[in-house]
Chain A
Amino acid sequence: MQTVEQITEPYSIRIAGIGGQGNILMGITLARALTLEKKWVVQTQSYSAQVRGGISYSDILFSNYPIDYPRTQQYDILYIMHQKSMEAFKENLRVNGILIVDQTYVSNIPRMIFAVTRKIVSLPITELAREKLNNPVVANMIGLGLLAKITGWLELENLKKAMREYVKKGHHELNEKAIELGFSLTSKKFRVRDERLKYVGRGFE
């Protein structure tokens, strides 16, 4: 006789921008790095038929247990790279979730977000990529470094290792620098999901 298992809602991240910003590569790299941390991971994506300009996103779900349902409606982390996707997915952030935005393309964080969370990190990531690394393309890798720092989920080394699997050899050094830059951008560290009190009715023990 089989038994019912407890449901564990996997941690979820949505990385959203417009086509051409590298958000799907970012999602794949993050998912691969989490696999190296021995997590069960599912990564899905959505993009429209046009190559550049349409809203595109990549979702990562991970857990300590095998994942049944590969999607979710509410995300623990939203990483937003463009104003269009900010508007599209503002409703999808979990209460007390983390919002990371690339200020370069997101000029306006909707007011409703401030009612959902205080954990907001807004940095001009693409500008930093252009200034410090002479290449706006690696903005997504800076974002990964930043995400790793804020959450404390990932070893920097695993992130680099994952990146090396999906990026051409000639670009490894640049991307590694970008990841390190992202990691150094902030000293903030957020708890991702505040565990609810398991036992209600304290004082009765």
Chain B
Amino acid sequence: MANRKFVFMQGDEACALGAIKAGCRFFAAYPITPASEIAETMARELPKYDGAFIQMEDEIASAAAIVGASIAGVKSMTATSGPGFSLMQEVIGFASMAEIPCVFVDVQRVGPSTGLPTKPSQGDVMQARWGTHGDHPIIVLYPSTVEEVYRHIITAFNLSERFRTPVIFLMDELLGHMRESFYLPSDDELEIIPRMNDDISDEEIYHPFGTEMEIPNPLRAMGKSKFHISGLIHDETGFPVGTSDIASKLLKRLENKIKLHTDEISIYEEYLVDDMEILLIAYGSVARSALRALRIARNDGIKVGLFKPITIWPFPSNRLRKLMKNVDAVIVAEMNLGQIIKEVALLRHPGLKLEPLNRVDGELITPEDFLEAIANIRLKLNEF
């Protein structure tokens, strides 16, 4: 750790600085608690890197602006919270169809509507997956510490470049507003996928939707070269085609480009899963309480393990199915009324006890909440 700096940073600040590190040079947003600090940091820092910051008139325009910037050859990002994220959904659909790499940050607060602006929630997990219209692929990341925010906003940019897809980066109010000390990853630890930014010569033909292994060609900069992009069903040249066989082929390819690479995209952490009897599943800030609860329970000799997905979508079903084979009970903790638990339920084997642990009062689920849930589930397991 010799060449790493020990820093103290806010979650939102780490998100902005990490994005700049990843090569983001365009940021458009409309301020909203608790994501405003991302915009603040971007407004201050981006000009130093020859980047552009624009405060747009609303979230729809912000989303459209970053998609436009990306087509023009610049890595781009926007940041908002639940209500603004709803407005951005239409554009996310276009970005999915036109396969435009860009990053949407949603710092979740208690909703729906204005809700509790200064309190955390995990209510947008399903909106991140299914918010926009049509069958569409999506990648969603959700870190749980400020260090992970910095590290994985870079991952978000890399994945969006590699798979040419919008990536949604979830945080929550607690994580966004929390300040934390950590060792800043050094440059040689970080891999950054660059954007192709060269001119296309007159002799070369560039097909923006030509593919290799389901993944489209890297996006070139519009303006430096001429090509066509459309939200209509299109062929590999990018021009609209109205035939149904191409529609089916395109939509299945979009689905598959993420689905077939789930293992590459999936990032997760596991704690003490080798001999566990009860599995905790938690993500975002809640995973931190889960980790504390796990340590307390283990010190009491209760065999608890923790699975913390950082990639929420595509859901890491394969890995989780394997883990769930060997346990008697699973507790899924979320700061919503039960969203990810429905994905987990699809993987359960007969006889498995699946318990939700939910809180929607704007407070973080505490380790005590976990310990109570663990105690209750142990009672149920011993009933026979």
- A46 lies within 8 A of B178 (CB): no
- B8 lies within 8 A of A46 (CB): no
Q: Does B122 touch A at the CB level, under 8 Å?
A: no
- A2 lies within 8 A of B272 (CB): yes
Given A44-B174, A69-B291, also A28-B179 (CB < 8 A) = yes
Q: Mark A40-58, 1 if CB is under 8 A from B, else 0.
A: 1111111111000000000
- Which of B118, B179, B296, B299 has the most A CB atoms < 10 Å from its CB? B179
Q: Does A70 touch B at the CB level, under 8 Å?
A: yes
Chain A positions within 8 Å of B181 at CB level: 31, 34-35, 39-42
- Which of B274, B285, B288 has the most A CB atoms < 10 Å from its CB? B288
The B interface is mostly helix, strand or loop, or mixed, namely mixed
- A41 lies within 8 A of B180 (CB): yes
Chain A positions within 8 Å of B366 at CB level: 69, 71, 73
B284 to chain A, nearest CB (A): 12
B35 to chain A, nearest CB (A): 16
Q: Does A4 touch B at the CB level, under 8 Å?
A: yes
Q: Does A160 touch B at the CB level, under 8 Å?
A: no
Number of interface residues of A (CB under 8 A): 29
Closest to B118 in A: A47
- A4 lies within 8 A of B272 (CB): yes
Q: Does A68 touch B at the CB level, under 8 Å?
A: yes
Number of interface residues of B (CB under 8 A): 26
B118 in complex: contacting residue of A6, A32, A41, A46, CB < 8 Å: A46
Q: Does B74 touch A at the CB level, under 8 Å?
A: no
Q: Does A197 touch B at the CB level, under 8 Å?
A: no
Q: What separation, in Å, do the CA atoms of A48 and B285 have in the docked complex?
A: 21
Q: What separation, in Å, do the CA atoms of A34 and B7 have in the docked complex?
A: 11
A94 to chain B, nearest CB (A): 16
Chain B positions within 8 Å of A2 at CB level: 271-272, 274
Closest to A69 in B: B292
B117 in complex: contacting residue of A31, A49, A71, CB < 8 Å: A49
Q: Which 5 A-B pairs have the closest CB atoms?
A: A69-B292, A35-B8, A43-B179, A4-B298, A35-B181
Binding site for B on A (CB under 8 A): 1-2, 4-7, 28, 31-32, 34-35, 38-49, 67-71, 73
Binding site for A on B (CB under 8 A): 6-8, 117-118, 174, 177-181, 271-272, 274, 285, 288-289, 291-292, 295-296, 298-299, 364, 366-367
